Amino acid sequence: MLSKRSIVLILIIAFASFLCQKQALGMDPEVLAKKALCHTCLAKIYASQGKIPAAILEYQELLKLTPNDAAVHFEFATLLAHNNKPDLAAPQYTQAAKLKPAVAEYQAGLGYALMCQKNPDAAVAAYTKACSLGGKYQTQLQNAQQYQAQQKLLDRYKKKLEQQNNE
Amino acid sequence: MSQDNHVKFITLFLCLLINTVCFSLPAKSVGDNTGSTGSITITKHANAAARAFAAHDYKKAKEEYRIAIGLSPETLEFYYGLYDVCVHTEEWDQVVFALEKIFEIDASKKRPLLAQYGEALFRLGHYDDAVPVLKQALKEADLPAPKIALVVQPPVPIPEEEKPVDPNAPGGAASSTPDLTVAPVNGNLPSTGPIPSHPTLLAKDTTKFKLSFQNAAHSECILIAEYLDYQHNPDIQFFHPPIANYHITKILKGPPLNSELPVRYEFYDRINNALPEGWKFGPDKMPKKGSSWIIFIMNAVPRDGAFDTYQGSYGRQPANDENLNQIYALLENSANR
């Protein structure tokens, strides 16, 4: 005859197993694909109709379903960048480049994001990588390099000014 | 000690049992019962479509599905096949057509296929229609997709209008005996009802207007042929037709004739044979080279080096989808008797 303690132990183990299985299984892939398809289509429709807030919401829902889809991050970032939201676009570009570092377009997007964040050194590196992957981003690379050079000049000037002030 | 081991064993066994019984994956829902294959012709086209699809020959698969649909327009599986093919070829207008027919035939298939329908509308640029469909599809996303296998139901015969039942007649209104005059299909008893009639080759059209496919289909030979050219002759007139050369591409009925087919190219049918005013022969009176035709030949014996077609010009019909569907249906119904 099982004691009450044993029965409770059995139930706890069983429930724990159930939770683990549910987490591992996640959403049914078919359901996931269907929802992702609907959100993708809706996002593109709203974007084409100029309904940007609605499009952003759809992309956010889509990213909840497919957080590791680099293409979705990139598309979302492009939408944000084209609608004067570079600060929001930058992390999306970064994520796309991180997920698929071998895609030239994503590296170029990252370069754009880094330029928006006033980080020309890293932007030059990203654009250089984009060009090495076969993308035609020489213009963007040159701009970034010029900005980098100007930034260095500015920093030197600031340093000199500081020194003069200290003297 | 042994009691402790006993308890531990039971504990472990019960854990495993609960895991297996309660948390194993639920069985997938079985597919719809799609019945068995139907007639020879329909099965042939359905199989050809499936083979072409498997070989990624989507153009041929689409053609075969369309023929199968023409023969059996209420078969859900064919529309599903057409939908599948057109998704691959990105012919979204056809995808929408196929899905709408599926919904028409079986409304229960609409909810599980809403996402696909919404996508097709989006691809076509029908955004206003697509948005509500996609929103609804998100709500219904948990429904599993319908499992529709590509097998065929036999074509449903068209029933006659029911005659009023005389309650006083023996076995009238009170009778519940099923009508067994219709041949059972695959072991299933037919539903009660009058004997259905459908066009067969044995029933000749007795109306005055004799120019019909039903009559033409009694010809000894029915072929699909490609028009090549005609034998040029200075004596060609309305009542002295040229000999047209065809190349047989398919024999639907009759003996295996030589692929090069000379046909007496009459410009009139046997009912309307008046000479049109101002008629003059020219190359414009002949069909376009390479065009495809259904040729009905009454007797598979040439006369003066050429075959005569059924009722003259009526025995040459364009080999378009509509005509082919008609003739296939007539031949199929004849074969099933």
B14, B19, B134: residue with CB nearest A17: B19
**Average pLDDT of chain B to the nearest whole number:** 77
Average pLDDT over residues A137-157: 92
d(CA B319, CA B309): 15
Mutation target vs A (from B122, B139, B140, B147; most A CBs, 10 A cutoff): B122
The answer on pLDDT for B176 being more than 50 is no
Average pLDDT over residues B279-293: 92
High-pLDDT (> 70) share of chain A, %: 91
Q: Is B16 on the interface with A (CB under 8 A)?
A: no
pLDDT in tens, B211-240: 888 888 888 899 999 999 999 988 888 888
Q: Which residues of B touch A65 (CB under 8 A)?
A: none
The answer on pLDDT for B276 being more than 50 is yes
d(CA B145, CA B116): 10
Q: Is B261 on the interface with A (CB under 8 A)?
A: no
Please answer yes or no on whether A18 and B15 come within 8 Å at the CB atom.
no
Average pLDDT over residues B287-304: 90
B197 and B160 Cβ atoms separated by less than 8 Å: yes
Instruction: Name the pLDDT band for B197 (thresholds 50, 70, 90).
Output: very low
**pLDDT at residue number A19:** 57
pLDDT in tens, B141-162: 877 766 665 544 444 444 544 4
Please answer yes or no on whether B11 and A45 come within 8 Å at the CB atom.
no
Domain spans, chain B:
40-139, 213-273+280-335
Q: Which residues of A touch B139 (CB under 8 A)?
A: none
CATH topology identical between B40-139 and B213-273+280-335: no
Average pLDDT over residues B281-302: 91
Instruction: Name the pLDDT band for A26 (thresholds 50, 70, 90).
Output: low
Unique residue bearing structure tokens 């989808």 = B321
Report CA Rg, chain A.
Answer: 24
A17, A25, A45: residue with CB nearest B130: A45
Please tell me whether residue B237 adopts helix, strand or coil conformation: strand
Please answer yes or no on whether B7 and A42 come within 8 Å at the CB atom.
no
B60 and B129 Cβ atoms separated by less than 8 Å: no
Nearest residue in A to B118, CA atom: A38
B19, B134, B142: residue with CB nearest A38: B134
Mutation target vs A (from B3, B23, B111; most A CBs, 10 A cutoff): B23
A18, A25, A37: residue with CB nearest B119: A37
Average pLDDT over residues A127-145: 92
d(CA B248, CA B257): 8
**pLDDT at residue number A5:** 84
Nearest residue in A to B122, CA atom: A41
Separation of CA A100 from chain center: 11
**pLDDT at residue number A81:** 87
Of A22-31, A102-111, B15-24, B26-35, the one with minimum mean pLDDT is B26-35
Q: Which residues of A touch B127 (CB under 8 A)?
A: 45, 48-49
B336 and B71 Cβ atoms separated by less than 8 Å: no
pLDDT in tens, A48-60: 999 999 999 999 9
Please answer yes or no on whether A3 and B7 come within 8 Å at the CB atom.
yes
pLDDT in tens, B3-34: 677 777 777 777 676 655 555 444 333 334 34
Who wins on pLDDT, B145 or B285?
Answer: B285
Provide the token pair at B222: 């029915």
Question: What φ, ψ does residue A110 adopt, rounded to 5°?
Answer: -65, -40
Of B209-213, B275-279, B333-337, the one with minimum mean pLDDT is B333-337
Nearest residue in A to B120, CA atom: A41
Please tell me whether residue B247 adopts helix, strand or coil conformation: strand
Q: What superfamily would CATH give domain B40-139?
A: Tetratricopeptide repeat domain (1.25.40.10)
Please answer yes or no on whether A31 and B138 come within 8 Å at the CB atom.
no
Who wins on pLDDT, A2 or A85?
Answer: A85
Please answer yes or no on whether B7 and A2 come within 8 Å at the CB atom.
yes
The answer on pLDDT for B206 being more than 70 is no
Give me the count of residues in chain A.
167
Q: Quick count: other Cβ atoms within 10 Å of Cβ A29?
A: 9
Name the CATH code of domain B213-273+280-335 (choices 3.40.50.1470, 3.40.640.10, 2.40.50.120, 1.10.940.10).
Answer: 2.40.50.120
A13, A39, A45: residue with CB nearest B127: A45
Unique residue bearing structure tokens 């409304």 = B107
Average pLDDT over residues A11-37: 71
Residues of B numbered 119-138 whose beta carbons fall under 8 angstroms of chain A's beta carbons: which are they? 119, 122, 127, 130-131, 134-135, 137-138
B18, B22, B137: residue with CB nearest A38: B137
Count Cα atoms within 13 angstroms, Cβ side, for B216: 27
Nearest residue in B to A36, CA atom: B138
